[in-house]
């Protein structure tokens, strides 16, 4: 990760990123909630892009990984702004978005903003609107009252926080209740043993997308992370199908 660079936003935020130039649409990987570009899927995509001479961009949202800022200030709108700023600054031509979990929600927001520059999107256990289907009424009430909600984190020792600002912004960016204005090809991967995001969410997302070129692949024994060697190989094969 020694090739990490930083992009400074207008308000001083510093977004950590890795970029390699190459052929074809630029792969842009969008990590999940509290994740970063050091993860296995992001690293595999970047390494494969370098090996095949393709353009690729990874980033850490502010408040995550190597980027500046406090996670408590993070929202979908803020992170979309950061993704678009990096694309505008470092990417020429079409963009192929890959979003994991919450990144699969963010990729819809970025994809709509890219319009004709969008070459396609690949979702991995996509979790659009998880603040609706994934939150209990009690949790929503506490967030609306301004409380930070902490929950057990199956992937680390620290609890997972949800901040009121993130929740309020998320409710303004729901996508499963209206047409998702994406016309590019879409490929959705989802494990049927996903304990965090029901695989039915990918089916619902497929129906909401305006594009007719949508394929959903269900991995019967796949979990939420889809980070096994076979899962990574399947993801890279889907990426290859766009070239």
pLDDT in tens, 34-64: 999 999 999 999 999 999 999 999 999 999 9
How far is 123 from 125, CA to CA, in rounded Å?
6
Distance of CA 96 to the CA centre of its chain: 12
On the question of pLDDT at 156 being above 80, the answer is: no
Share of the chain above pLDDT 70, in %: 99
Q: Which two tokens stand for residue 19?
A: 């970029």
Instruction: Please give the pLDDT value at position 73.
Output: 97
**Mean pLDDT along residues 69-97:** 98
Are 106 and 80 a contacting pair, CB within 8 Å? yes
- Where do the structural domains in the chain lie, given as residue ranges? 5-240
Partners of 124 in the beta sheet? 100, 189
Number of Cβ within a 10 Å radius of residue 217: 14
Q: What local confidence, expressed as pLDDT, does residue 2 receive?
A: 55
Q: Which residues pair with residue 99 across a beta bridge? A: 30, 123
Q: What is this structure's pTM?
A: 0.97
CA 90, distance to chain mean position in Å, is 19
- Under 8 Å between Cβ of 91 and 49: no
Record the tokens describing residue 43, joined without a space.
Answer: 């690293």
User: What pLDDT is attached to residue 157?
Assistant: 78
pLDDT digits (tens, 9 = 90+) for 86-104: 999 999 999 999 999 999 9
Whether the pLDDT of residue 152 is over 90: the answer is no
Q: Catalytic site residues? A: 101, 194, 224
Is the domain defined by 5-240 classed in CATH 3.40.1180.10?
no
- Mean pLDDT of all residues in 6-27: 97
Please tell me the distance from the alpha carbon of residue 131 to that of residue 143, in angstroms, as a whole number: 10
What number of other Cβ atoms are within 10 A of residue 49's Cβ? 24
Q: What is the distance between the alpha carbons of residues 222 and 192, in angstroms, rounded to a whole number?
A: 6
Q: Half-sphere exposure (CA, 13 Å, Cβ side) for 201?
A: 28
Mean pLDDT of 60-87: 98
**Closest to 102 measured CA to CA, from 127, 133, 72, 125:** 127
Kindly state the tokens that stand for 36. Answer: 């970063």
CA dihedral 99→49→14→39, nearest 10 degrees, is 60
Q: Given this model, what pLDDT does residue 56 score?
A: 98
**Does 185 or 153 have the greater pLDDT score?**
185
Average pLDDT, whole number, for the chain? Answer: 96
Q: Three-state SS for 93?
A: coil
Q: Report the Cα 148 to chain-centroid distance in Å.
A: 23
């Amino acid at each position: 990760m020694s090739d990490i660079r930083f992009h400074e936003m207008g308000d001083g935020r510093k977004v950590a990123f890795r970029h390699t130039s190459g052929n074809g649409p630029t792969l842009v990987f969008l990590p999940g909630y509290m994740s970063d570009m050091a993860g296995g899927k992001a690293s595999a995509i970047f390494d494969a892009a370098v090996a095949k001479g393709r353009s690729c961009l990874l980033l850490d949202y502010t408040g995550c990984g190597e980027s500046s800022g406090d996670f408590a200030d993070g929202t979908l709108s803020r992170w979309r702004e950061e993704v678009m700023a990096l694309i505008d600054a470092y990417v020429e031509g079409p963009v192929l978005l890959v979003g994991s979990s919450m990144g699969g929600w963010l990729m819809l927001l970025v994809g709509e903003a890219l319009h004709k520059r969008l070459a396609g999107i690949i979702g991995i256990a996509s979790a659009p609107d998880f603040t609706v289907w994934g939150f209990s009424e009690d949790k929503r009430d506490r967030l609306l009252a301004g409380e930070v909600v902490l929950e057990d984190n199956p992937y680390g020792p620290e609890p997972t926080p949800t901040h009121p600002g993130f929740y309020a912004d998320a409710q303004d960016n729901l996508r499963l209740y209206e047409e998702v204005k994406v016309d590019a090809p879409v490929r959705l991967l989802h494990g049927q043993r996903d304990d965090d995001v029901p695989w039915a969410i990918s089916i619902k997302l497929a129906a909401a997308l305006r594009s007719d070129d949508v394929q959903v692949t269900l991995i019967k024994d796949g979990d939420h992370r889809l980070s096994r060697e076979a899962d990574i190989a399947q993801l890279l094969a889907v990426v290859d199908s766009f070239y």
